[in-house]
Structure 1
Amino acid sequence: MGNSTSRLYSALAQTLSSSPPSLAEEYLEQPVDVQPLDPEELLKECEEVLHSRPPRLRRSFVFPPRDVPSQHHSIRVMQWNILAQALGEGKDSFVQCPLEALNWAERKYLILEEILMYRPDVLCLQEVDHYFDTFQPILTSLGYHSSFYPKPWSPCLDVEHNNGPDGCALFFNRDRFELVDSINIRLVAMMLKTNQVAIAQTLRCKESGRLFCVAVTHLKARSGWEVFRCAQGLDLLQNLQSITEGMGIPLLICGDFNAEPTEDVYRRFANSSLNLNSAYKLLSHDGQSEPPYTTWKIRPSGESCHTLDYIWYSQHAFSVDSVLVFPTEEEIGPNRLPSYNYPSDHLSLVCDFSFNDEPNRLL
């Protein structure tokens, strides 16, 4: 790591040294005073640290046709379950992934490199367990507003030498948007508070003056919990309905839903009165099918290839300008994910959205 590590953390040293000894108080958003970082310099540093690793997955954008070009700059949104460090090393049992490939000293650079490669305006992450010592200070210094909401009973806490609970994190470009309102949601299912959470923030676009609401969530995992997931999804929809009701505020909803498109929670989002559509359906020939996978891993129980991650958008208010394609099976490789050249078992989703000129049109 050598000089690269010292360069990166010299800009963050004051913040990290002044962090409270216990981060478990309320996990409220805290102001971070850090020196600005040059994203190009940080990207070069990532490449230097990772020079001994194989080439990273290279992906391209496709551009769905649209009738009328937008008069505004696109909003780039990234959705990504980055894999909690404690779970990757201690619980998830990726049998084809060498433990040294998950070493946080280098894996954090792989994550940062992916983010810097696409420079999202809005970044939605799940399984974040290094928020305060890595993502908050670094992304704040890159010009992002940062928010975090941990799971109440994070499985990371069961792992020895953990870095605290994992949770959802939401970041947005301060130069492009201003925060109007923010709410942390502990999802309810069957009248019970659950271990899954969401963040919903209403933003104002400085260029156009338009409002929109962005939400990030991570629903309950594992087979057998389909009814529970659906209840969580309905609770999230009801919360978002309350936030946007009467104001016509469009939505961007990102998350690891842990649900295939065949599950009821997916159908509830697709048929919601909020008029949502899934952006990644635009990769299909008919525009009606999700990709064959967003996560692909090998565990002791066997190979696991599923579509679980989505970016939903209000189709009356937004158009999709571009979608980042997924790597092929050959590009991912026989050992699947995570790997030496990709830091998570989930692939990132990246889309460019622009406001429609008729935002009140519902169909």
Structure 2
Amino acid sequence: WQRASLLEIQEEKYRVVYNPPTATMVKLPPSPLAGMTLYPSLQFDFASHQFSKFFWFKRKQHEWEERFANQLHTPSFDDVGHKFKLQVTPGSETHPANNDDVISDDVIIAEDVSGPVLPARSSYLFDCRHVHTTKKCSGDTFRMVCFNILADCYATQDFARKELFPYCPDDIIKMDYRIQLIQKELEGYHGDLICLQEVDRFVFENHLVSSMSLQNFAGALATKKQCKEGVAVFYNRDRFKLISVENKILQESLTTDEVNKDLLEKVSRNQSLKSSVLQRGSCVLLAVLQSVDAPHRHLVLANTHLFWHPRALNIRLIQVSLLHARISHLSIGNTSFYSGVVTPIICGDLNSKPASGLCDLMQDGNIPTNHADWYSGGITNYHGGDWSLSHDMKFVSACGKPTYTNYVTGFSDCLDYIYIDPRMLGIKQVVPHPPHHLVTMHTAIPCVTSPSDHIAQVVDLGWT
């Protein structure tokens, strides 16, 4: 079958459209909040946001009143109690919806209706932080955000509701509510690189991809082994170009990557320790990004969420050593693939306190055999023999060592980091944390004013 524009069968003529633009999903929030952007969940076949048309309608009494022809709409406090409808006319580069000569029969218009707009809070925990990020970065400076957004698959467990977040009402802990705050918080940071942890696959596919695409971001998700959540990276397409991206399951990297041969030999000396390491499905999303403003500069960005258990400090040391090996390979051993200056960044929820061996290894470049963290798993998991670890890179914590980045009832500490090479990147601004009295206003976080139990790490970095 050759591409054609007309098909004739027994004197009947039919117009032929090859790969017609189609909106396979249009979905609006069931409980939209006043002052929050209405980000539609969109999925297309042979279409994109850029070439599609968006029409918003507001329900007044028994009629729909056309209001806006924009991709996004933010209901005001005057809209409380009203519903909104979005109609999407899908379009592509070859069949743009904004072209007057498009025949309406070619395209099926998709639509959805929101729930009634609900009243919102007068302020949110992140508002005081947005004061520092009203201006976007440009030129040699870019803004980076690292944020554990609290996966829905954990937040809605009985244990979480009863033990971790008993103070948080059920309707507030639900993702339908929290995703609106997450999107509002990320939007206000005006970041160029956004690294997220505890991202449910359905949240990535049905919410974040659409909302970030409408803000000119592209992204990728890496899920843990046999798990519904993982880590995600989004980059501003005006600031960065993606060269490569990969998901590394750390336990698989230990057993299959040649660069980890020596480390595997050490781990294998204790079968109990080896079993503990290989049971963990932690992953790292590795992205090589090229600066649009300075094309000779590249980032090797590693976003990860390491194993959480308080007595697994030894496991996390091994995990971060695996991460170092892969970062080093991409930064130093693979420069023929991309020329120019290559800068590593390691970020994420490392589940490690500032005084931990992991943070010592990150910043000092080595950790001795007799470090206390090697004994954290008890005698059965103690390695024995020479177990010093080292790496040839140089890192500092760009956001320092705040008192806490995770705050729930019964626990608070610094667990989240953005590690940079100070020889290649300078710290221009660290966005301060919200005041403690605001964090505890509703006992702890998450709460009605904050979507996660973690506080986002936000920093402006500049090429040196």
TM-score over 0.5 for the alignment? Answer: yes
Between the aligned partners of 1:50 and 1:292, the Cα distance in structure 2 is 35
Judged with a 3 Å threshold, the aligned counterparts in structure 2 of structure 1 residues 242 and 308 are, in CA distance, closer, same or farther, namely same
Does structure 1 residue 201 correspond to structure 2 residue 287?
Answer: yes
Does structure 1 residue 136 correspond to structure 2 residue 209?
Answer: yes
- CA drift of 1:126 comes to 0.5
Between the aligned partners of 1:351 and 1:267, the Cα distance in structure 2 is 22
Structure 2 contact 130–189 (Cα < 8 Å) conserved: no
Between the aligned partners of 2:224 and 2:182, the Cα distance in structure 1 is 21
Judged with a 3 Å threshold, the aligned counterparts in structure 2 of structure 1 residues 201 and 72 are, in CA distance, closer, same or farther, namely same
Amino acid at match of 1:197: C
From 76, 79, 84, the equivalent of 2:146 is 79
Between the aligned partners of 1:332 and 1:3, the Cα distance in structure 2 is 25
Structure 1 contact 50–106 (Cα < 8 Å) conserved: no
Structure 2 contact 247–283 (Cα < 8 Å) conserved: yes
Q: Which residue of 2 aligns with 1:122?
A: 193
From 25, 31, 34, the equivalent of 2:49 is 34
Does structure 1 residue 250 correspond to structure 2 residue 343?
Answer: yes
SS in 2 for 1:113: helix
| % identical aligned pairs | 24
Judged with a 3 Å threshold, the aligned counterparts in structure 2 of structure 1 residues 180 and 14 are, in CA distance, closer, same or farther, namely closer
Between the aligned partners of 1:279 and 1:318, the Cα distance in structure 2 is 9
Amino acid at match of 2:393: L
Does structure 1 residue 346 correspond to structure 2 residue 457?
Answer: no
Between the aligned partners of 1:102 and 1:202, the Cα distance in structure 2 is 35
Between the aligned partners of 1:226 and 1:51, the Cα distance in structure 2 is 45
Does structure 1 residue 175 correspond to structure 2 residue 246?
Answer: no
Structure 1 contact 72–355 (Cα < 8 Å) conserved: no
The answer to which structure, 1 or 2, has the higher relative contact order (CA under 8 A, 6+ apart) is 1
- CA drift of 1:114 comes to 0.4
Between the aligned partners of 2:359 and 2:439, the Cα distance in structure 1 is 26
Amino acid at match of 1:183: E
SS in 2 for 1:327: coil
Does structure 1 residue 44 correspond to structure 2 residue 44?
Answer: no
Judged with a 3 Å threshold, the aligned counterparts in structure 2 of structure 1 residues 3 and 338 are, in CA distance, closer, same or farther, namely closer
Between the aligned partners of 1:307 and 1:242, the Cα distance in structure 2 is 29
Question: Deviations 1:151-191 (Å, cap 9, x if unpaired)?
Answer: 1132xxxxxxxxxx010001101111111122211113646
Between the aligned partners of 2:362 and 2:47, the Cα distance in structure 1 is 36
What is the alpha-carbon root mean square deviation over aligned residues? 2.9
SS in 2 for 1:34: strand
- CA drift of 1:293 comes to 0.4
Does structure 1 residue 331 correspond to structure 2 residue 438?
Answer: yes
Q: Which residue of 2 aligns with 1:89?
A: 156
Structure 2 contact 289–299 (Cα < 8 Å) conserved: yes
Between the aligned partners of 2:195 and 2:118, the Cα distance in structure 1 is 24
Between the aligned partners of 2:152 and 2:42, the Cα distance in structure 1 is 22
Judged with a 3 Å threshold, the aligned counterparts in structure 2 of structure 1 residues 214 and 43 are, in CA distance, closer, same or farther, namely farther
Judged with a 3 Å threshold, the aligned counterparts in structure 2 of structure 1 residues 312 and 46 are, in CA distance, closer, same or farther, namely farther
- CA drift of 1:225 comes to 0.8
Q: Which residue of 2 aligns with 1:219?
A: 306
TM-score norm. by structure 1 comes to 0.78
Does structure 1 residue 294 correspond to structure 2 residue 405?
Answer: yes
- CA drift of 1:92 comes to 2.2
Between the aligned partners of 2:397 and 2:47, the Cα distance in structure 1 is 34
Structure 1 contact 43–113 (Cα < 8 Å) conserved: no
Between the aligned partners of 2:30 and 2:245, the Cα distance in structure 1 is 40
Number of aligned positions between the proteins:
311
- CA drift of 1:51 comes to 3.6
- CA drift of 1:32 comes to 8.1
SS in 2 for 1:181: strand
SS in 2 for 1:249: strand
Structure 1 contact 59–324 (Cα < 8 Å) conserved: no
Structure 1 contact 205–211 (Cα < 8 Å) conserved: yes
- CA drift of 1:254 comes to 1.4
- CA drift of 1:4 comes to 5.2
Amino acid at match of 1:120: G
- CA drift of 1:73 comes to 3.6
From 295, 307, 311, the equivalent of 2:418 is 311
Structure 1 contact 46–112 (Cα < 8 Å) conserved: no
From 269, 277, 284, the equivalent of 2:362 is 269
Judged with a 3 Å threshold, the aligned counterparts in structure 2 of structure 1 residues 101 and 54 are, in CA distance, closer, same or farther, namely farther
- CA drift of 1:95 comes to 1.5
- CA drift of 1:72 comes to 3.1
Structure 2 contact 123–449 (Cα < 8 Å) conserved: yes
From 110, 116, 123, the equivalent of 1:55 is 123
Q: Which residue of 2 aligns with 1:110?
A: 181
Judged with a 3 Å threshold, the aligned counterparts in structure 2 of structure 1 residues 135 and 78 are, in CA distance, closer, same or farther, namely same
Structure 2 contact 140–462 (Cα < 8 Å) conserved: yes
Unmatched 5+ stretches in structure 1: 19-30, 64-69, 155-164, 282-289, 357-363
